Structures are given as structure tokens and as C-alpha cells.
Structure 1
Amino acid sequence: MIGYVALLRAVNVGGTGKLPMTELKAICEAAGFEGVRTYIASGNVVFGSDLSEAEVKAALEDRLGAYAGKPVGVLVRAAREMADVLADNPFPEAPPNKVLVLFLDTPPEADAIEAVRHRSSEELKRGKRELYVHYPDGMGTSKLAIPAARTGTGRNINSVAKLAEMAAALEQ
């Protein structure tokens, strides 16, 4: 069994995409996933499955779309990959609440960082299927516009660490 982390896009953020975590858990259990656990009410779920990443993503997007009546974007990472995302953080000295990982389905385009607009003190680095963003002055005051974010979803390093820990526990 593989431990997976699924990250939903635009769920329970700013009054949009309301999805109670009890419903998300039930949807995952109905899909046959094992050991399902949610983490904070922003569309994070961890579970085990023998399916491939692509199969997990398709199953969740289908079921969530049926529930919501519209497409719901899902980004999926295996436990090992989530641990690598954490280990590869290019800003390890920065406060974890000021580092965001923008998860993508595919590797960031070569010009993903150059395409960013309204940059001031923020630092960005490309990952394997992620963009890492350090907000030294905090995210709340930033005007940064990241075109790649249209298809991705972000989590701070604190959340990444907890989700990596939860997914790893499923494989033990």
C-alpha cells in the first residue's frame, strides 16, 4: 500500500468551495482508500491505496466533481515524494509560515519564475513539480502574482511537514 496526500484546490478558502472534512473523508473511504485522515479544514487528506497516483487523482476528481456539481482540482503526492518536497525546501532558514509550496501536476515551466508579476522581496525557486516561495515580509502584504498558481495549490511548510509525517505513517 502506498501512502498518499491529496491537496484540493480552492476548498474552504475565502467562503468558496465549501466541503466539510467529514464529507471529504467519506468520499475517500467510498473510493476504497484506507486509513483516511484529514488535516485542517482546507482540503488536505491522507490515505493509503494500491492505485497509481494517476488513478487516485482521477477517482478523487470524479467523486468530488459529482459531489460539488463542478470540477474540483486535486494534486496528489505519494508519501515519499511529499517527504522529498519537504527535504528539498530551498529556504530552510526562513520561518516555515513564510514559505509556501505551490504544488503543480507537472514540472514548472522554464519561465515560471520570470512570469511572476508584482515581485518585491519574495524569493522563488523551482522544484520537481513545485514552486517554492519565500515571503520574507509575510504573505498577507504581498502583491505577488504567480501565473502557474492557476492550476496549482499552495501549502506552507508547516502543513507540508505534517502531511508528510501523516502519509509516511501509513506506510509503516
Structure 2
Amino acid sequence: MKKYIVLLRGINVSGKNKLPMAELRDLLNDLGFKNVQTYIQSGNIILESDEGKSVICKKINQEIQTKFGYDVPVIARTIPQFKKAITSYPFPTDNTKIVAFVFLNKKVYETKVEVKDIENDQYLIDNDMVYIYCESSFSKTKLSNNLFERSLYVSATTRNYNTTLKLLELAESN
């Protein structure tokens, strides 16, 4: 069995797509995944499966849609892939409040997107990741999840530095 970190996009955000984590864990256990755990209320999952990432994502998406009526993008990474995403972060991490990881559902070949007036904010597109460094703060930046989805024709979900590190720590501790 392989361990995965699975990220759901848009769960429990601003009162939309409410999905209690206990119900999500039950759903995942019913699908046959092993050692399921969730972290905070925003769709962060660690699980084990013999199946590949695309099958896992499809199963979870379909079951959430069937049970809850939400079409939720699902993105999975193996532990080595998740670790590589963290170690490849190209910007300073001294102020973790302005650091983010955008996980993409597929590899992209573009290296730039059209965005104006980003001031000192920076991003780097790298295969199936976008790394963000937002000096202006996340509430003010134009480097949003929606921007990258529209510009790169992907599904994406963003996690801050602390959540990303915590997910890896939890996955490696079990």
C-alpha cells in the first residue's frame, strides 16, 4: 500500500460546500481506503491505497458528488512528491504567512501567466506546482487559485506553508 496526501478544493470555505470531516472519513473508509485521517476542516486527507492517484481522485470526486452533491476537484500526491514540492520551494520561507503552494491536477508546460500589477509578489510554475510568495499578503495578492486555474486550464488547490508542512509531518509520522 502506498500513502497519499489528498487535497480537496473549496471544502468548508465561507460556508460553502460544507463537508464534516467525520463524514468525509466515513466516506473514504467505505471506499476501501486505509488509515484515513483528516487535518483541519478544509479537505486535507492522508490515506493509504493500492490504487493510483487518478483512480483515487476519481473515486473520491464521484462519491462526494453522489453523497453531498458537490463537484469537488481532488488532487493527490505521494509522500515523495509532496516532500519534493516542499523542498523545491524557490522563495524565502522566513515569513511563512506569505508563502503558499498551489497544487495542480496535472503537469503544465507554461512558465508564465498574464497578471498585472503584482507588485513584489512572485510565483514560479514548475510542472504540477505553482509556488507563491506574497509580500502584499494573501488577502491583497492577484496571484489567486482561480487565476492559475483559468490561465493554465487546470484544477488547483492552494495550501499555506504551515498546513503543507503539517500534512507531510502527519503523513510521515504514521
TM-score by length of 2: 0.89
Query: Residues 51-106 of structure 1, C-alpha deviation per residue, up to 9 Å, x if partnerless?
Result: 11111111111111112213111011111111111111112434222111111011
Q: Is the 8 A contact 1:108 1:131 kept in 2?
A: no
- Where structure 2 has 5 or more consecutive residues not aligned to the other structure, the ranges are none
Q: Check conservation: 2:123, 2:132, Cα contact below 8 A.
A: yes
1:128 counterpart letter in structure 2: N
Residue 152, structure 1, aligned to residue 156, structure 2: yes
Which piece of structure 1 moves more, 4-13 or 150-159?
Answer: 150-159
RMSD: 1.7
Equivalent runs, 1:25-36 vs 2, <5 Å: 25-36=25-36
**Structure 1 residues 130-139 or 145-154, which shifts more?**
145-154
1:34-113 aligned at under 5 Å gives the runs: 34-111=34-111, 113=112
Q: How far apart in 1 are the matches of 2:53 and 2:142? A: 34
Q: Do 1:101 and 1:133's aligned partners in 2 also have CA atoms closer than 8 Å? A: yes
- What SS does the aligned partner of 1:4 have? strand
For the 8 Å contact 1:6–1:44, the answer to whether it is kept is: yes
Residue in 2 that maps onto 1:164? 168
Q: Provide the rounded CA distance (Å) in 2 between the counterparts of 1:70 and 1:153.
A: 16
Distance 2:85 2:51 in 1: 21
Q: Is residue 16 from structure 1 mapped to residue 20 from structure 2 by the alignment? A: no
Q: Which amino acid aligns with 1:75?
A: I
- Point out 4+ residue stretches in structure 1 off by more than 4 angstroms: none
> Structure 1 residue 29: deviation in Å?
0.7
> Is 74-83 or 102-111 further displaced after alignment?
102-111
Please give the secondary structure, in 1, of the residue aligned with 2:80.
helix
Distance in 2 of aligned mates of 1:53 and 1:70: 20
Q: 2 CA distance for matches of 1:114 and 1:56?
A: 29
Contact kept, 8 Å, 2:104 with 2:157, in 1: the verdict is yes
The sequence identity of aligned pairs, in percent, is: 28
SS in 2 for 1:100: strand
Distance 1:149 1:102 in 2: 10
